[in-house]
Structure 1
């Protein structure tokens, strides 16, 4: 057990960090560049038209709403890009993490990659997925074209940055997040499974069962969230996968609140837990029965409820920490990290911020690391207490044996 916990902590610490490609470790030709900046947007015009009328200069990243005042529509973004001298006649790659729209990416009029079906509403088909386009420039400049369309969605447009660089560097960067999330999700699932097995044998420890359930649930949720691992290994539709992501997110929140209630038994009011369960339950039913535009809008409209719950949880933790319970302080740090990550992703999903990475995954990973530290410390303290009690019992038995022997000798002396 001790060796497993140590190994888990070391691997978790190394993998859960947000790695990025460092310019200090790459040569000039391997450095990644963002394609943010000025593009020209041609409203409701597609590449099939051949020629474009006057467009509007927009600064990428930008939503349809910000560019033309309409949340859902379609059009084409175009930009001319000067190829660095050292990159000419070399294999380059453009990585598109994902967009809140269907898209098709072109270089000099040639389609390289596409996600979903781009076009008017009757032709459009949404899909959230990352893609990498490869090409070899031979001229001083190339023209990038990005067709996009979004309908029946909360957001749409060229909202996420895309990156260009040497093929090896881009592949390394794009694969890193996929492998990191795969390994971290796998470790979470294994940790949760281990806790559930412990709970099976230690039936009086509900905390182990609920903690394990949270780990397993979050690992499943991560399968459907950015970077969309499900898309690599299954044929689940965009709508089905989006429903699964939201449902498992709500389940994780409900389980997390109950876990906090178990950790702070006597401090945490039951009505708070029941209220969260009712809200999450209703949202899960609505998510399962309605299209994305309905449940996504409702989800982001009522998610503000987590703020008073967070402040209440913080109050409970501070009150408990005053009793000099170090576990309470550790949980308080972990809960603050988790809620900070969730809030940042909420703001990103609402279009308020444009953070490149999903923050919930590393936040929960750090929280689980803190929980592992607490479990390891409690395990070590329990083991030391058991050793101390055994030693005390051995000493007591030895003393009783000695006293009994002395009494027997006294009795034998009296008899003789």
Structure 2
């Protein structure tokens, strides 16, 4: 068991090192020369940089010869968030990104890690459709939006790959791609995808078990802290299913893009709401009741707003939800540090859990801002450890302990009883 864990950690560490040591790229002028690439020495290469860009055209390789005037765009930046051909494009529309890759001789296969985009895509290599997510089109009524990252393999790639990435968006406030598409050694990329997928499934199962276990204990013993932890774990479980790797596709859940996106965004205020109830239940003296009412009522209101909001409001809402979530985390830090200062039983466990959770959050934000790959195994282990520490905190924060601390509080009359009686 220990050997397997060490192997996984070594494997993910190697993934980071390879990501940081890029010898090829970025793409320039719609072309990348990989003829000297050794996939075993450098198993993954980022395809960021200047792709050929054709606005309001859905083309394949054989169509490109007719387009003499070339415009270039960054694939990893949404088209409405960069200047392309001297102009700013609207969020709604469709486009074709094209890339020519010169390959090493005699390769048996090569794989691509294709990210989710805003809001659907068709991925072609050498005039062959390799994979798709939803359905691209030139009008809103033709488009079927869907978020689904995939790792796909091209057999016998030859000496030249002509990669076409068609993207349509008529729903979201961002259009195009916001992540890096990667090419790599087939064994390496498929192993990475499998490891991320398996660790994600394990995380969902773990959070689901905690949810069920918390509910069972609540119905038997009736401590509210277990109920709130169960609800918090459930909110996280739903988020893991409907975000990042979008496991709902693997689970056969036939949800439209708008429903899936709303569920993903709904989990943010629900996590804050249940998190506030949970922390206040185990640290009632440190988590002020007025702030508990504030966070619960505000996030209940935001839950309703997300349910009834149109897709055009998703990005502005996401910013609001993130600001409120960060405010909540800051106050939780304050409350738990107070608990540690007052030497509350188990406060150190809560501090460790909060540190782990904060580090995971900062890592997510850093990867989003810098447009770098997320090591999802690190993320999944971090979430699991944070939840485990919160479960452990309940062993200290028992109802009996809370009643004892409530009686131990020193009030004004206790300290200055003699002066008051004079």
Find the aligned partners of 2:324 and 2:11 in 1 and give their Cα distance. 32
Match of 1:317 in 2: 336
Deviations 1:298-331 (A, max 9, x none): 2323531233332222222222211233622321
Q: 2:233 aligns with which of 204, 215, 227?
A: 215
Whether the 8 Å CA contact 2:51–2:74 is kept in 1: the answer is yes
Whether the 8 Å CA contact 1:83–1:137 is kept in 2: the answer is no
Find the aligned partners of 1:340 and 1:154 in 2 and give their Cα distance. 29
Q: Establish whether residue 45 from structure 1 lines up as the match of residue 57 from structure 2.
A: yes
Match of 1:56 in 2: 71
3-state DSSP of counterpart to 2:172: coil
Q: Establish whether residue 22 from structure 1 lines up as the match of residue 10 from structure 2.
A: no
Q: 1:36 aligns with which of 20, 31, 48?
A: 48
Q: 2:247 aligns with which of 221, 229, 241?
A: 229
3-state DSSP of counterpart to 1:230: coil
Spell out the pairing of 1:14-413 with structure 2 (5 A cutoff).
Answer: 20=12, 22=14, 28=40, 31-47=43-59, 51-64=66-79, 65-68=81-84, 69-70=88-89, 71-85=91-105, 88-122=106-140, 123-203=142-222, 205-232=223-250, 233-325=252-344, 327-342=346-361, 345=364, 352-357=369-374, 361-375=380-394
Whether the 8 Å CA contact 2:218–2:224 is kept in 1: the answer is yes
Whether the 8 Å CA contact 1:29–1:165 is kept in 2: the answer is no
The TM-score with structure 1 as length reference comes to 0.77
Find the aligned partners of 2:147 and 2:161 in 1 and give their Cα distance. 26
Deviation, 1:291, is: 2.3
Find the aligned partners of 2:213 and 2:72 in 1 and give their Cα distance. 55
Whether the 8 Å CA contact 2:78–2:178 is kept in 1: the answer is yes
Deviation, 1:21, is: 7.7
3-state DSSP of counterpart to 1:20: helix
The TM-score with structure 2 as length reference comes to 0.76
3-state DSSP of counterpart to 1:61: coil
Deviations 1:137-181 (A, max 9, x none): 453221111111222212222321122223333222222222211
Find the aligned partners of 2:317 and 2:7 in 1 and give their Cα distance. 34
Whether the 8 Å CA contact 1:43–1:55 is kept in 2: the answer is no
Find the aligned partners of 1:145 and 1:259 in 2 and give their Cα distance. 49
Whether the 8 Å CA contact 1:99–1:159 is kept in 2: the answer is yes
Find the aligned partners of 1:278 and 1:17 in 2 and give their Cα distance. 41
Tell me: CA distance 1:362–1:296, structure 2 relative to 1, closer, same or farther (3 Å).
farther
CA RMSD of aligned residues (A): 3.3
Deviation, 1:216, is: 2.4
Deviation, 1:340, is: 4.8
Structure 1 residue runs without a partner (length 5+) = 1-6, 383-416
Match of 1:392 in 2: none
| Count of residue pairs brought into register by the alignment | 367
Match of 2:404 in 1: none
Find the aligned partners of 1:171 and 1:284 in 2 and give their Cα distance. 37
Find the aligned partners of 1:240 and 1:19 in 2 and give their Cα distance. 36
Structure 2 residue runs without a partner (length 5+) = 19-37, 402-422
3-state DSSP of counterpart to 2:130: strand
Deviation, 1:227, is: 0.7
